[in-house]
């Protein structure tokens, strides 16, 4: 990630420094993805080095994994480690902490970290706060590659106004960006019930705490 081109970087760096206050020795922490999470990982890495902390990180992308390793953070996984807490960013967050995530293509592993963690801190600058989800971003949907056409048609049946293929994830699955005019609390389950869908970027009703500035 090119730090020099991160938008609203100053505000995000403030949030990155705030999350380091949660870090304690011998913790296992879930590392999300996105520009704010990347800056937070750098600050956590600096603390690990300066205080000689023993931290296990469970990253959601290969790039985050490499960043953790560069600061001496050990890499774990959800099969062998239990999270103490996790942190992540978001593309949109409403007043009830419902979110759209996945514009960085990592929503599957991000959701795994969130559901596996007793608590996840969502770091967002005020540009990510919205009154209603889906007005600024589509809903990313991770799809088994040969199911793209079928899933696209099914998404239209449940209310999508358009679907656009965006590329592939690190898991070698396709991403469809689905635009919805209205996002109800049942939409996440409707999307997940479509055969061929691996995961969606809708995060509705999860145990998260939003930290903003």
Give the model's pLDDT for residue 91: 95
pLDDT tens digits, one per residue of 12-25: 999 999 999 999 99
Q: Which tokens sit at 129?
A: 């706060």
Q: Is the pLDDT of residue 213 over 90?
A: no
Mean pLDDT of 123-131: 94
DSSP 3-state assignment of 171?
A: coil
How far the first Cα of the chain sits from its last, in Å, is 23
Q: Is the pLDDT of residue 133 over 90?
A: yes
Cβ neighbours of 114 (radius 10 Å): 23
Q: List, in order of start, the domains of the chain with CATH numbers.
A: 3-129+207-211 (3.40.50.1360), 139-201 (3.30.70.260)
Give the model's pLDDT for residue 2: 81
Q: Which residues contact 157 (CB under 8 A, 6 or more apart)?
A: none
DSSP 3-state assignment of 165?
A: strand
Give the model's pLDDT for residue 1: 85
Q: How far apart are CA 122 and CA 187, in angstroms?
A: 21
DSSP-derived secondary structure for 25-53: TT-EEEE--SHHHHHHHHHHHHHHHHHT-
Q: How far apart are CA 95 and CA 60, in angstroms?
A: 25
Q: Is the pLDDT of residue 5 over 90?
A: no
C-alpha dihedral, 189 to 159 to 137 to 92, nearest 10°: -40
Give the model's pLDDT for residue 4: 79
Contact between 11 and 211 (Cβ < 8 Å):
no
Rounded alpha-carbon distances, angstroms, from residue 138 to 19, 58, 112, 163, 213: 28, 27, 21, 9, 24
Catalytic annotation, residues: 110
pLDDT tens digits, one per residue of 87-118: 999 999 999 999 999 998 999 999 999 999 99
Averaged pLDDT score across all residues of the chain: 96
Give the model's pLDDT for residue 121: 98
What's the chain's length in residues? 213
pLDDT tens digits, one per residue of 163-199: 999 999 999 999 999 999 999 999 999 999 999 999 9
């Amino acid at each position: 990630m090119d730090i020099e081109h991160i938008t609203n970087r100053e505000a995000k760096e403030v949030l990155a420094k705030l999350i380091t206050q949660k870090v304690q020795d011998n913790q296992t922490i879930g590392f999300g993805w996105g520009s704010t999470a990347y800056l937070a990982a750098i600050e956590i890495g600096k603390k690990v080095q300066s205080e000689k902390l023993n931290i296990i990180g469970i990253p959601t992308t290969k790039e985050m994994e490499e960043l953790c390793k560069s600061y001496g953070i050990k890499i774990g996984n959800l099969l062998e480690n239990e999270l103490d807490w996790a942190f992540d960013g978001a593309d949109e967050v409403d007043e009830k902490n419902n979110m759209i995530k996945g514009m960085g293509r990592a929503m599957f592993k991000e959701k795994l970290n969130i559901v596996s963690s007793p608590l996840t801190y969502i770091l967002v600058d005020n540009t990510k706060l919205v009154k209603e989800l889906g007005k600024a971003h589509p809903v990313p949907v991770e799809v088994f590659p040969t199911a793209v056409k079928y899933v696209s048609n099914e998404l239209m049946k449940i209310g999508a106004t358009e679907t656009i293929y965006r590329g592939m994830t690190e898991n070698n699955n396709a991403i469809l960006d689905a635009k919805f005019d209205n996002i109800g609390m049942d939409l996440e389950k409707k999307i997940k019930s479509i055969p061929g869908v691996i995961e969606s970027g809708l995060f509705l009703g999860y145990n998260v705490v939003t930290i903003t500035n």
